[in-house]
Amino acid sequence: MTSGSTKPLPALKTSYVDLFYVHAISNIDEMGGHWREWAAKQKQAGKIKFFGFSSHNNMEACLEGAAKLDFIDAVMVAYNFRLMTEPAMQKALEACTKAGIGVVAMKTQGGGPVKSDSQAELDMAGRFLEKGFTDKQAKLKAIWENPAIASVCSQMPNLTILSANVAAARDATALARQDIEALARFAADTRGDYCAGCAAVCSAALGGSLPVADVMRAMMYARDYGEPALARELYASLPERLRRADGSLDVAAAEAACPRGLAIAAIMAEAATLLA
């Protein structure tokens, strides 16, 4: 919910919500303005119990910023086996733990704008199957085992995924050190397949106003989630300059700046064909 109004509550058939997120912020400055006062007022009126935000972009800076504010109870960010080894993410989680902020992990499977069919993925899946669970369950376990993560928000569009997630949650077997290392190796091998949401980097390389990371996210919805409608909806909301299929937008500077070496130009060209 992003509205400052409480009118959505009757539509939700409830008189209050436990946790109210301002959706998808990319910069902690977006938590300035009226939000502090608004949250206090809604809490006092019994409309919300906790207040926070979600973020897909620049998550580390948003988490660090949240830890310096005194009215953020919880933050939901993209977090997975690929991001858990990044020092900036570890530092940001530490700051939130110290500040008493509950961090909820989303995008937990670490899917990206490029669907990897690499041998590394097959090897990793085989390794976990031998231990009695799937690589998807292992990715959830890796997050649950981190005490800095309060909860996981996992999309479960069918009963198969629901059952697998429940089984993983009920299975108390912890991952071995070698399992965590296998996930880290896979993350390193497929580094260029995953967009880490450091949107300020590629955006700044193109002058600061083009949300390249959102094209990557749209392609993630298309390629990894198998959700073409959601992918198209997000893509259609992006600036026209980013969506041109004629290649007139030169993204070489963004590619050069990308710390993960994503093939930004190729992914954008694919998005222009697939999602337009």
Angle at Cα 79 formed by Cα 118 and Cα 275, nearest 5°? 60
CB of 256 to ligand SF4, least distance (A): 10
**Residue among 146, 36, 159 nearest 96 (CA):** 146
CA distances from 180 to 60, 86, 124, 151, 210 (A): 22, 14, 11, 19, 35
CB of 257 to ligand SF4, least distance (A): 6
CA distances from 101 to 12, 47, 92, 138 (A): 26, 20, 11, 25
Q: Does 210 bind ligand SF4 (CB under 6 A)?
A: no
Nearer Cβ to ligand SF4, position 17 or 231?
231
According to CB under 6 A, which one of 105, 149, 202, 251 is a site residue for ligand SF4? 202
According to CB under 6 A, which one of 102, 110, 111, 197 is a site residue for ligand SF4? 197
Q: Does 195 bind ligand SF4 (CB under 6 A)?
A: yes
Q: Does 92 bind ligand SF4 (CB under 6 A)?
A: no
Number of residues that bind ligand SF4 (CB under 6 A): 14
Q: What is the largest CA-CA distance in the chain?
A: 55
**Residue among 230, 201, 223 nearest 213 (CA):** 201
232's tokens: 């198209």
Judged by CB under 6 A, the chain residues 5 through 64 that form the site for ligand SF4 are: none
Quick one: which H or E segment has residue 151?
strand 151-152
Q: Does 216 bind ligand SF4 (CB under 6 A)?
A: yes
Q: Does 199 bind ligand SF4 (CB under 6 A)?
A: yes
Q: Note the residues at the interface with ligand SF4 (CB under 6 A).
A: 195-199, 201-202, 212-213, 216, 258, 260, 262, 264
